[in-house]
Amino acid sequence: MLTALLILFPLLAGLLVFFVKGNAARNLALGFSIIEFGLAIGAYCLFKHNPDACMLSFDHAWVKSLGIHFSVGIDGMGLLMVLLTTFLVPIIILSSFKNEYSNPHNFYGLILLMQMALIGVFTANDGFLFYVFWELALIPIYFICLLWGGEDRGRITFKFFVYTLFGSLFMLVGLIYLYNHTNVDGLKSWAVQDLYNAGRALTETQQSAVFWMIFIAFAIKMPVFPFHTWQPDTYVTAPTQGTMMLSGIMLKMGTFGVIKWLLPIVPLGLEKWGFTAIVLSVVGIIYASIIAISQKDFKRLIAYSSIAHVGLISAGILSCTQQGIQGAIMQMLAHGVNVVGLFFIADILFRHTGTREMDKLGGIRGMNGNFAVLFLIILLGSVALPLTNGFVGEFLLINGVYQFNATIAAFAGLTVILGAVYMLRAYQKIMLGDRNDSNVAFGSLAGTDKIVLSIICIVIVAFGIYPKPLNDIAEEAVKTIMLNLK
């Protein structure tokens, strides 16, 4: 019941916000999203108390004749993703308080609707429902980018939409194929466990086909090299909050999908093609890192760094080791928080100076020391310094990939070094040195900006020092997943 409520509440809230005029919409949306976070905390407590609590799952027939159920439930990994989503959405809404959007009610309504779809993706226990939520998440973000995006948004959002839809359709066919092979007392079923069984009963060739059909959808969403070409443009063009939703949460749909909807279904396909997929991921890490180093635009740099990070996550997952997957989950959480922080920094810089080009910035530390410290903390989290949240995940990830193949791990490990290079170079150019442009005046931060940055920094440090609560859930979750992989 609680899970269904978690999906229903943002839907109703979003619809309500559509009808509120002016800035009240913004405050209302913030309030609703905080309540939603409260609900998620409630789910967390419940889960801690008893992971199998029936409050956490909900099942109702949707289209009976086709075996489609509205079946949602929270398991360990789903819980972590729901926590991440519900934590980030209020932060994202709060971060928009200094931006003036036209028609704010539509903007915030769409964000809440997107939250609904995201939570649906993370909790769905029915293959068809999963697909529907997966597609639904695309529509609000498409309109957010189209209506409030930057230059040339028509062309770029269009590419984004078609690209991801294209992948999803393949996934749909892959899922229908599995569904056609399910057999529960003579009936077909969309339930996740039945799809697992159906997938495993297939021959190697069939599994390979299904693997690529489904993997392409996830690979485009993450994105993994070479399916990434939509991503940098879209991240740069989207309004900051849209970019945060895309990179902070939506990207995790892809990695989450691989863990829950790909690995357990096609073990043989994975055995055959997993290596190729890992190599692609690792190529993506190095490729994106090198491009990031040569970027001039800070927002674009973050976009490429995101490809590098997700490449490592994907490699860790596909290594199919306990540590690789656990690291991936931890890194998904950390990356979500950090990348939202980084995009927010880029937004603040743009608001104060009117540019995101790093060559035109410089010497901001001298003008605003607090900002410099907060920026540094987020940046260190992103390069995974020990005692920041990024460290735990990255360590486990590289460890997991190493168990799979040492040579690949060596290349994947480059992400640490290259990441430090482009991030620190960016910091140097933006914050240190002389003021490049004497007109640049960087005043003190607005109240809401401070709150958002402080919360993000606290989370980065807190979970860097004491990751145990999350790590425990992740470990348990991965143990269950590993059982399914055997």
Partner 1 sequence: MKGLLIISGLGILAMLAEIFKFKKLLLPMVLLGIVAAYAFNFMEWKMPMSFSYFDNMIAFDKLALAFSGIIIATAFFWFILANDYFEQDSNMVDHFALVLFALVGALMLTAFKNMTTLFLGVEIMSIPLYVLAASKKRDIKSNEAGFKYLIMGSFASGFLLFGIALVYGATGSFDLMQIRSFISEHGADMPLFFYVGVVMMLIAMCFKVSAAPFHFWAPDVYEGSPTLITALMSTVVKTAAFAAFMRLFMVGFAEISSVWTGILAGIIALSLVIANFSAAMQNNVKRILAYSSISHAAFMLMVILANVRSNLSVNALIYYSLAYSLGSIAAFGIVYNVTKKGNENVDAFNGLAKRNPSLALCMAVAMLSLAGIPITSGFFAKYFVFTAMIGTQYKWLLIVAILTSAVGVYYYLRIVIAMYFKKQDTHEPLPIERSNILVIVLTTAATIAIGIVPGIVAEMFAF
**Interface residue with partner 1, options 146, 214, 266, 401 (CB under 8 A):** 146
**Interface residue with partner 1, options 20, 34, 136, 421 (CB under 8 A):** 136
Of the pair 12, 441, the CB lying nearest partner 1 is at 12
Residues 180-219: x where in contact with partner 1 by CB under 8 A, - otherwise, as a string? x---------------------------------------
**Interface residue with partner 1, options 20, 169, 376, 461 (CB under 8 A):** 169
Tokens for 14?
């979003």
Of the pair 130, 304, the CB lying nearest partner 1 is at 130
Q: Give the number of C-alpha atoms closer than 13 A to the C-alpha of residue 212, restricted to the C-beta side.
A: 9
Instruction: Give the range of 42-50, 140-148, 422-430, 478-486 binding partner 1 by CB under 8 A.
Output: 140-148
Closest CB 154 distance from partner 1, rounded Å = 5
Please check whether residue 58 is in contact with residue 1, taking contact to mean a CB–CB distance below 8 angstroms.
Answer: yes
- Phi-psi category of residue 202: left, alpha or beta, with phi > 0 → left and psi -120 to 50 → alpha: beta
| Residues between 57 and 116 with contacts to partner 1, criterion CB under 8 A | 62-66
Tokens for 338?
């950090």
Instruction: Give the range of 161-169, 192-200, 383-391, 398-406 binding partner 1 by CB under 8 A.
Output: 161-169
Please check whether residue 179 is in contact with residue 199, taking contact to mean a CB–CB distance below 8 angstroms.
Answer: no
Residue keyed to tokens 């932060």 = 91
Strand partners, 63: 68
The verdict on 11 binding partner 1 (CB under 8 A) reads no
**Interface residue with partner 1, options 87, 179, 256, 422 (CB under 8 A):** 179
Q: How many residues line the site for partner 1 (CB under 8 A)?
A: 29
Angle at 378 between CA 332 and CA 84, to 5 degrees: 30
The whole-angstrom distance between residue 210's C-alpha and the CA centroid of its chain comes to 24
**Interface residue with partner 1, options 101, 158, 350, 411 (CB under 8 A):** 158
Closest CB 482 distance from partner 1, rounded Å = 31
CA–CA separation, 36 vs 147, rounded Å?
26
Collapsed DSSP state (helix, strand, coil) of residue 70? strand
Closest CB 170 distance from partner 1, rounded Å = 6
- Residue 72 phi, psi dihedral angles, 5° rounding: -125, 155
**Interface residue with partner 1, options 41, 54, 162, 201 (CB under 8 A):** 162
Q: Give the number of C-alpha atoms closer than 13 A to the C-alpha of residue 404, restricted to the C-beta side.
A: 29
Q: Name the residue type at position 333.
A: L
Of the pair 62, 395, the CB lying nearest partner 1 is at 62
Closest CB 202 distance from partner 1, rounded Å = 14
Collapsed DSSP state (helix, strand, coil) of residue 222? coil
Residue keyed to tokens 């895309």 = 246
CA–CA separation, 337 vs 87, rounded Å?
9
Of the pair 65, 438, the CB lying nearest partner 1 is at 65
Closest CB 63 distance from partner 1, rounded Å = 4
Tokens for 266?
């096609």
Buried b (16+ CB within 10 A) or exposed e, 336-346: bbbbbbbbbbb
- Phi-psi category of residue 154: left, alpha or beta, with phi > 0 → left and psi -120 to 50 → alpha: alpha
Of the pair 169, 455, the CB lying nearest partner 1 is at 169
The verdict on 18 binding partner 1 (CB under 8 A) reads no
Instruction: Give the range of 135-143, 237-245, 378-386, 430-438 binding partner 1 by CB under 8 A.
Output: 135-143
The whole-angstrom distance between residue 394's C-alpha and the CA centroid of its chain comes to 16
Tell me the CA end-to-end span of the chain in Å, nearest whole number: 31
The verdict on 132 binding partner 1 (CB under 8 A) reads yes
**Interface residue with partner 1, options 46, 55, 99, 135 (CB under 8 A):** 135
Instruction: Give the range of 162-170, 293-301, 353-361, 460-468 binding partner 1 by CB under 8 A.
Output: 162-170
The verdict on 432 binding partner 1 (CB under 8 A) reads no
Contact positions vs partner 1 (CB under 8 A)? 62-66, 131-132, 135-136, 138-139, 143, 146-147, 153-154, 158, 161-162, 165-166, 169-170, 172-173, 176-177, 179-180
